[in-house]
Amino acid sequence: MPLKDLQTPSTAALDPRLACAWPRLARPVHARIITPVELKNWILHEDGEVLVVDKPGDVVCHPSKAGPWSSLSGAVREYSGLAVSHLIYRLDRETSGVVVFAKNPQAAARLQKAQRLRQVCKAYLAIMTGELPGPVTVDQPLGDDAASPVLAKAAVRADGRQALTHFTPLSRGGGFTLARVVTGTGRKHQIRAHAQWLGHSLAGDKIYGPDAGCFLEFIEHGWSAALEGKLLMPRQALHCSEIDMRAAGADRVYRAPLPADMLAFCAARGLAVPK
């Protein structure tokens, strides 16, 4: 019987990127464990309703199987003694910067609603490859990148969801641009996908950089000298520097300075960092 006649609806629709011809080798996973002292040093602001943290680029937001101190959400819950730490929005693991937690369900509901209504304004700092000549707005829809070997990758496609990103160069030099980035929508990997579409991928981006195969190589073998030669940084150079939640009732704008790894990258390449 022909193979096509044996296909069921589920196998006929199988995404080949989910299949693997051989079993993965079991590699030990070394979870990043946060210490109470570290978390305390990351706190930007705390009051009766919110706790605002400057997340490093090697920390995950959501709980993991390695215990409460292996994620920012778990560490905040343990540190504060709360039954639940209400994460208002997440940052990708390798993106650093401002993260906001609500301390009670009422504040969480208000802030999460403001987030859905686009009343929360976020600004990022990004190191882009190439020298961006001037401000540019990318208004291009995003959806799944069906051609990529990385299942999570997004791409500009006509049938995608609306996505709007504003890039403003702050300094240029040495073949790179330090840019302020403001998003008008909140799509998955929006800044990184739009930066790649512009031809100015972020330094250190394993998925949207020179080759998505870098991500697969990193998953299989970890960080290496070969990857460093291609990517220049161990993580994507993206930092959430500013959150304005005043429209949601906050009394201030929360800001986090550019982290040490991005500062060092800029200094090594002559990129001025505005105060």
Higher per-residue confidence, 4 vs 199: 199
Please choose, from the candidates 208, 205, 184, 179, the residue with its C-alpha nearest in 3D space to the C-alpha of residue 196: 208
β-bridge pairing 164-173 and 253-255: unpaired
- Mean local confidence (pLDDT), 3-11: 45
pLDDT of residue 13: 52
Rounded CA gap, 88 and 101, in Å? 6
pLDDT over 50 (residue 210)? yes
Please choose, from the candidates 146, 142, 145, 136, the residue with its C-alpha nearest in 3D space to the C-alpha of residue 169: 136
Reduced 3-state DSSP string for 3-41? HHHHCCHHHHCCCHHHCCCCCCCCCCCCCCCCCHHHHHH
Higher per-residue confidence, 3 vs 166: 166
Instruction: Give the model confidence (pLDDT) of 240-273 as tens digits.
Output: 999 999 988 888 899 999 999 999 999 999 999 9
Torsion angles phi and psi, residue 126, rounded to 5: -135, 140
- Mean local confidence (pLDDT), 191-205: 98
Higher per-residue confidence, 8 vs 211: 211
Instruction: Give the model confidence (pLDDT) of 72-117 as tens digits.
Output: 999 999 999 988 999 998 898 899 999 999 999 999 999 999 988 8
Number of H helices, E strands in the chain: 9, 12
Mean pLDDT of the chain: 89
- Mean local confidence (pLDDT), 192-206: 98
Using CA atoms of 196, 207, 232, 69 in order, give the dihedral in degrees to the nearest 10: 130
pLDDT over 80 (residue 55)? yes
Catalytic site includes residue 261:
no
Enumerate domains of the chain plus CATH numbers: 30-117 (3.30.2350.10), 121-275 (3.30.2350.10)
pLDDT over 90 (residue 181)? yes
Q: Which of 92, 145, 205, 261 is catalytic?
A: 92
> Which whole-number Å values give the CA distances from 36 to 92, 198, 269, in the listed order?
22, 41, 35
Checking 82-86 for CB contacts under 8 A at 24+ apart, the result is: 85/51, 86/112
Rounded CA gap, 75 and 100, in Å? 13
Portion of the chain with pLDDT greater than 90, in percent: 74
pLDDT over 90 (residue 175)? yes
- Mean local confidence (pLDDT), 226-233: 95
Higher per-residue confidence, 219 vs 197: 197
The token duo for 99 is: 């993260």
Residue type, 184: G
